Structure 1
Amino acid sequence: MLIEPRAGRLAAWGNALLAGLVSPDEAVVAIVGDDAVHRVAGLPGEPAPVGLTLALGRLRALGAGGLRLALPAPGHPLGLSGPPEFNARALEAAEAVVCHGAALGLVPEVSEAGPAGDVHVEVVWHCLPVREAPPADVPSLGEAERELAEALREATEALTRLDVAGSGPVAAAAIEAYRARAERGREVLAPGYPPRAVRVLELAQRVTALVDLAHGNGHGGAVSASEMAARGEALRPVERTARRAMVAAYNSAVEERDRGTR
């Protein structure tokens, strides 16, 4: 799973921009991050790819009042609402953004260019029609927080039960690394997000760190195919819970504004 999905950055900072809480320049710098450039292709009314500033302004003009994150996986169309063509593209990328208030979605295509040691990343967001319907399987922040607390216990127990070598100190180091990363990247959620969303996202990142630890190579020497299969089976529900929580956190700004207008 992506700890800091590009679609999450686009949704978070796009929401802050659409709410008037940050400037276009602030939003674009945060969305692009360490990448070289982001462009949007297929935007209605634009025959060629355009920059993020123009694209976000055009989405607002087309009726988008917010952006939602989707993190689909095989058999789990998390955050998607169709149609099948968009879902398939989003599943291939493992992430997407769905507009709230406009029947459009964005799927990233990531490419690398340049010589070894000087590689830069370019991202093209493909704008495609989506179905205006509730996103699939997205919990509330409260539900996500409760589920994550249990998932963190399950992940820790699974590491011990599966005898991942050094699971105690390595797990602690992984948690601390992701906690430090979360502290550094708290603005990933951008202005306008409730404090609970930050807590949920940080905990989801910690759970994901443990899942990645159990799946990762290089810990504990050789791992047989049967051992890797056992790890995958034990941790699949935990990984699913963490993905659901991440989507709930990134989407909470839209959900809260939507409730406030009812």
Structure 2
Amino acid sequence: MFSEPRSGRLAAWGNALSAGSVSPDEAASAIVGEDAVHRVEGLPGEATPVGLTLALGRLRVLGVTGWRVALPAPGHPLGLSGPAEFNARAMEAEEAVTGFGAPYGLVPRVTEMGPAGDVRVEVVWRCLAVREAPPADVPSLGEAERELAEALRDATTALTRLDVAASGPAADAAREAYRARAEAGAEILAPGYPPRAVRVLELARRVGLLVGLAYDGGHGGAASASEMAARGAALRPVERVARRARVAAYNAYVEERERER
């Protein structure tokens, strides 16, 4: 429920690296997070997969000066600009990053191995050509913030009417985890992002919490097929708005660069 897309981490810390706010090793460490290792395959000039630090450096030499995020879903190519091969891979992965300044994109392939309780996660990013065109359906930060506020209000009203009350041990644990993270001052975005981007991403995460808890249901939750359909109809537009807002927040660094041109 609180998982950050790997493409978000790569874009945010890749942008911080481009801005000179962090070192290459700091950026790579933040992108890898709790995963075991990240590598990049298909990089121009490299016959085999290479480490993330080397890959980010090579892509900067090739002209990439920033990163955008794509979080596509069926029927919604959010953040994509083509061509077809890249879009298909990104749609399958449900995320990707695209370079700003040079036509390269990265799509992750995640592999889990090992026994339960000791799972090792490895990520291989496939480097592909992308079309240099405006990404699909990405709002400005201002638009995203307004849409989120409206969606949160509308969803709350609809779910109250449907008597969907997210309660019970699982819902309580989710809320407590969210509060604990907030109190710990967990970093929302990498250094160098504008405060508004941080605010929009945090609001998108709050909306995601509401959606997740409402889908889980609980006491007073809908039970019949028609009630489940009504719940889905109320939540799907909110999910879409939250995804658009997350992409707008992660892409804020590049959007500022474009305005400076």
Conserved in 2, the CA contact under 8 Å of 1:40 and 1:124? yes
CA distance 1:36–1:86, shift in 2 (3 Å): same
For 1:112 and 1:172, the matched residues in 2 are separated by 29
CA distance 1:176–1:116, shift in 2 (3 Å): closer
Partner amino acid, structure 1, of 2:24: P
Conserved in 1, the CA contact under 8 Å of 2:66 and 2:99? yes
Partner amino acid, structure 2, of 1:255: E
Conserved in 2, the CA contact under 8 Å of 1:159 and 1:167? no
Deviation at 1:229, TM superposition (A): 2.1
Report the 3-state secondary structure (helix = DSSP H, G, I; strand = E; otherwise coil) of the residue aligned with 1:187: coil
Partner amino acid, structure 2, of 1:108: P
Tell me which moved more, 36-45 or 171-180. 171-180
For 2:237 and 2:172, the matched residues in 1 are separated by 21
CA distance 1:174–1:119, shift in 2 (3 Å): closer
Tell me which moved more, 26-35 or 170-179. 170-179
Report the 3-state secondary structure (helix = DSSP H, G, I; strand = E; otherwise coil) of the residue aligned with 1:204: helix
Matched, 1:160 2:141: no
Structure 1 unmatched runs, 5+? none
Tell me which moved more, 10-19 or 212-221. 212-221
Indicate the residue corresponding to 1:10 in structure 2. Answer: 10
How do 1:180-219 residues align onto structure 2 when only pairs under 5 Å count?
180-181=180-181, 184=184, 186-216=186-216
Structure 2 unmatched runs, 5+? none
Indicate the residue corresponding to 1:243 in structure 2. Answer: 243
How do 1:99-114 residues align onto structure 2 when only pairs under 5 Å count?
99-114=99-114
Indicate the residue corresponding to 1:38 in structure 2. Answer: 38
Report the 3-state secondary structure (helix = DSSP H, G, I; strand = E; otherwise coil) of the residue aligned with 2:76: coil
Indicate the residue corresponding to 2:86 in structure 1. Answer: 86
CA distance 1:77–1:121, shift in 2 (3 Å): same
Indicate the residue corresponding to 1:256 in structure 2. Answer: 256
Conserved in 2, the CA contact under 8 Å of 1:79 and 1:135? yes
Aligned residues with identical type, % of pairs: 79
For 1:141 and 1:169, the matched residues in 2 are separated by 35
Number of equivalent positions: 261
CA distance 1:254–1:186, shift in 2 (3 Å): farther
Report the 3-state secondary structure (helix = DSSP H, G, I; strand = E; otherwise coil) of the residue aligned with 1:135: coil
Conserved in 1, the CA contact under 8 Å of 2:64 and 2:100? yes
Conserved in 2, the CA contact under 8 Å of 1:21 and 1:192? yes
Conserved in 2, the CA contact under 8 Å of 1:63 and 1:102? yes
Matched, 1:120 2:136: no
Matched, 1:25 2:35: no
Indicate the residue corresponding to 1:136 in structure 2. Answer: 136
CA distance 1:168–1:156, shift in 2 (3 Å): farther
Q: What is the RMSD of the two structures over their aligned residues, measured on CA atoms?
A: 2.4
How do 1:48-63 residues align onto structure 2 when only pairs under 5 Å count?
48-63=48-63
Conserved in 1, the CA contact under 8 Å of 2:39 and 2:49? yes
Conserved in 2, the CA contact under 8 Å of 1:165 and 1:219? yes
For 1:7 and 1:183, the matched residues in 2 are separated by 25
TM-score, scaled relative to structure 1: 0.91
Deviations 1:151-207 (A, max 9, x none): 111222232122224459987875564354356575341111000101000000001
CA distance 1:199–1:111, shift in 2 (3 Å): same
CA distance 1:50–1:9, shift in 2 (3 Å): same
Partner amino acid, structure 2, of 1:208: G
Partner amino acid, structure 2, of 1:246: R
Conserved in 2, the CA contact under 8 Å of 1:175 and 1:210? no
Partner amino acid, structure 1, of 2:228: M
Conserved in 2, the CA contact under 8 Å of 1:13 and 1:188? no
Report the 3-state secondary structure (helix = DSSP H, G, I; strand = E; otherwise coil) of the residue aligned with 2:69: strand
CA distance 1:121–1:60, shift in 2 (3 Å): same
Deviation at 1:3, TM superposition (A): 4.1
